[in-house]
Amino acid sequence: MWEALERIIPDIRDRAEVTLVGTPLTHERFLRRHRGSYGRAIAAGEALFPGATTPLTGLLCCGDSTFPGIGLPAVAASGAIAANTLAPVEKHLELLGCVQVIGNR
Ligand SMILES: Cc1cc2nc3c(=O)[nH]c(=O)nc-3n(C[C@H](O)[C@H](O)[C@H](O)COP(=O)(O)OP(=O)(O)OC[C@H]3O[C@@H](n4cnc5c(N)ncnc54)[C@H](O)[C@@H]3O)c2cc1C
């Protein structure tokens, strides 16, 4: 990887202040990833990742094993979905006293 980068930035090794090597073993050890993988692989069109709710009342899940799946944007969305499941927009509006305003539109 260094050699590939050096083709574009020849002195990159000298310019790097901190270098850390991560392998699938690192992911397995520190992130508890099965065999150091990226996460569940569910092919598009075959199935969907599970949603935020679980069979246990009050227990919600988010992260890359839940809908919409792997990757930071998807994980952030899964957190938003879990939060919205706990407190849907109608509840926010109710708290803000906006329900009447919306209702009159
Ligand atoms: C090498 C690699 C490159 C990636 N590159 C990209 C990329 O370029 N762009 C992108 O969008 N996504 C990328 N991803 C995917 C992205 O990093 C993950 O989908 C995302 O970080 C998952 O977030 P998460 O919160 O679900 O889980 P994680 O980020 O894995 O967080 C889970 C946390 O729980 C902790 N934990 C586990 N078990 C326990 C326990 N028993 N007690 C307490 N804590 C525990 C772990 O230590 C970890 O900190 C990459 C993933 C890998 C592995």
Distance 59 CA to ligand 1 centre (A): 20
pLDDT 10s digits, 58-91: 999 999 999 999 999 999 999 999 999 999 888 8
Rg from Cα positions in the chain: 22
What global pTM score does this model have? Answer: 0.80
Alpha-carbon gap, residue 104 to 71, rounded angstroms: 41
* The predicted structure's pLDDT at residue 104: 54
Inter-CA distances, 53 with 47, 69, 86, 93, Å: 17, 15, 10, 23
- The minimum-distance atom of ligand 1 relative to the CA of 64 is 26
Q: What is the rounded average pLDDT for all residues in the chain?
A: 89
**Quick check: CB of 72 below 6 Å from ligand 1?**
yes
Which ligand 1 atom is the nearest neighbour of the CA of 27?
Answer: 53
> What's the CA gap between 96 and 36, in Å, rounded?
45
Distance CA 7, CA 1 (A): 10
Query: Looking at the predicted structure, is the pLDDT value of residue 105 above 80?
Result: no
